[in-house]
Amino acid sequence: MPRSRSSEPPRTAALALLLALSAAAALAKPVLLRETQFIAREVEAGVEVAFTMAPQGSGTAGDQPMQWRAYDADGRLIAEGAPGYGEVTVRYVPACGGVNIVRLTGNRNWYDLVPAEGSAALVAGYGIIASEFAPMHTCGDERAFHFYVPRGTERVRVRVLADSPREGVTVRLLDPDGTVVVEVADQFDRAARVEARAAPGQDGRVWSLRLAPAVGMGFDDVVLWLEEPLPPLVAYDPDTVLRLLRAIPGALPAGE
């Protein structure tokens, strides 16, 4: 019997948990600071987590400190680093395995994640929280961000904000086959919804979004988040999205 498609799929355990994690990590405060990111990583008990925040530039005249905090799957603070200038290394040993959330605060800096000095750990396989509580804040990043669209979803909705003066962005939503379903270029000086229809057979799969310059406007700071029922998690690697969601008990319905 064909599966019915509901316009309002039920909230999954993954969505509820990721929303709770991002809210806890944000300390219940709005997070629209430039270059504050919430990184989701799957960790092993007793195995060191180590990577470095390498600043690539700043939007202010003076140096700005960077720092980090790590939270477990229950939203408890388990490790943190003191504010630092220049490169800041995230390094801690989790007591328990599972998914951790690391809050990276770069202030006015934009930064890359690179392997930590003295560590063989590679920076790979992480997701970025993109929820209303903790939106993703990018800086001229044109790489594809992958996200999961649950079964039964008919509308894929993303909120976008690029409120710096004379800046804007082109937003493209791509279906699992890589086809651009919708493209919107705007100034986005207020948070606006970019929406696409999920055709039958395109739900229960990984989609992606891409940001690009808009004609006649600067392309720099862009804040965005995924709307329900999308789990608020994106990753540069499509397999990482599913791997992280599968690491959360009940994240994906049976068969997904």
In words, the CATH class of domain 13-246 is: mainly beta
User: What pairing do the DSSP bridges indicate for beta strands 136-139 and 221-226?
Assistant: antiparallel
Element spanning 180, H or E = strand 180-186
Is the CB of residue 188 less than 8 Å from the CB of residue 219? no
Check pLDDT > 80 for residue 14.
no
If 0-12 CB within 10 Å is exposed, 13-18 middle and 19+ buried, where does residue 114 land? middle
Structure tokens at 97: 């395995």
pLDDT tens for 64-90 read 678 899 988 778 899 999 888 878 889
Measure the CA–CA gap between 67 and 10, rounded to whole angstroms. Answer: 37
Scan for tokens 């994240």, then name that residue.
251
**Domain map (residue ranges) of the chain:** 13-246
Check pLDDT > 80 for residue 164.
no
pLDDT tens for 209-227 read 999 999 999 888 899 999 9
